[in-house]
Amino acid sequence: MTISKDQSFTAVYNGVEFTATIDPCSWMYPGYGVQLTVKLQNGSTGSLNNKPLSFNTATTDDVQKMLSGVRLLACKTCDSSCFDPASVKTNQDGKCYSCIMRELRAELDADTQNENAEIAKLDAKYKKQGCTHRIDAWIHPARGDDFSISFWMKNPTVEEIQATIRKNKSTVLDDYNLVAL
């Protein structure tokens, strides 16, 4: 029986169940092969690709054969199940989704704390120089990627803020946040 776009599959490795769905690239791009996203109930994910296998001729047996090569291992941090990077393409490096997300959250929190400390130093510096407000603005150039800037002013008017944003070649003049120091 050939596979369909919305078909999902279930497999078990050492008593742990995981699911697989067929990725759109499998039917959207000729010659791409069949690509599956595999997922554990704990959120861990990975992908499998069989380039020589055409979506138009692939059968459920072909998919089950792909899934038979999937291996799981214990997370390096908590012993929960995760995909073995040797059997599934994954960026989780032998860790489960929960541990990866906990590490990323801690990294983000540390970066946010450092950024907030740097902004506080700049706010104090400019306040000593007589500025009353920080303006955090997004610059939307006619070409290229948007980017953010911060600048400090003393009792700024809307016109003054927009003039500074305009000098930075933004096509949008009202995408800013005014912060009192």
Q: Is the confidence at residue 1, as pLDDT, over 90?
A: no
- What confidence tier does 105 reach under pLDDT thresholds 50, 70, 90? very high
Over residues 54-87, the pLDDT tens digits come to 999 999 999 999 999 999 999 999 989 999 999 9
Q: Token digits for 169?
A: 């070649």
The reported pLDDT for the residue numbered 64 is 95
CA atoms of 45 and 79, how far apart (whole Å): 16
The percent of the chain in helix, strand and coil, each rounded to the nearest 5, is 30, 30, 40
Helices (H) and strands (E) in the chain, counts: 4, 9
For the chain, how many residues are written?
181
Q: What is the pLDDT of residue 74?
A: 93
Please tell me the predicted confidence (pLDDT) of residue 152: 98
- Which residue has 């959250």 as its token pair? 105
pTM (two decimals)? 0.67
Confidence of residue 30 (pLDDT cuts 50, 70, 90): confident
Locate the domains of the chain by residue range.
8-98, 118-180
How many CA atoms lie less than 13 Å away from 28 in the CB half-sphere?
Answer: 5
For position 92, what pLDDT does the model report?
81
End-to-end alpha-carbon separation of the chain, Å? 67
pLDDT band for position 39 (cuts 50, 70, 90): very high
- For 145-180, the pLDDT digits (tens) are 999 999 999 999 999 999 999 999 999 999 999 999
Strands of the chain, DSSP E: 8-13, 16-22, 34-40, 45-50, 72-74, 81-83, 133-139, 147-153, 176-180
pLDDT-derived band at 91 (thresholds 50, 70, 90) equals confident
Could you tell me which of 81, 8, 3 has the C-alpha nearest to residue 45? 81
